[in-house]
Amino acid sequence: MNDNSSSPTQLVIRHCIQKGGNEVPSNKDVTSLDWNCDGTLLATGSYDDYDRIWTIDGRLASTLGQHKGLISH
**Residue 34 and residue 57: Cα distance in Å, rounded?**
15
The pLDDT value recorded for residue 71 is: 60
Strands (DSSP E) along the chain, which ranges? 16-19, 22-25, 30-35, 41-46, 51-55, 60-64
pLDDT value for 31 = 86
Report the C-alpha gap between 71 and 56 in whole angstroms. Answer: 22
> How far from each other are the two terminal CA atoms of the chain, in whole angstroms?
23
Residue with the larger pLDDT of the pair 7 and 58: 58
The residue segments making up the domain with residue 21 are 1-73
Q: What is the pLDDT of residues 8-56, one digit of tens each?
A: 677 788 777 777 778 787 788 888 889 999 999 999 988 887 888 999 8
Domains contained in the chain, number: 1
Closest CA to 13 of 41, 48, 54, 61: 54
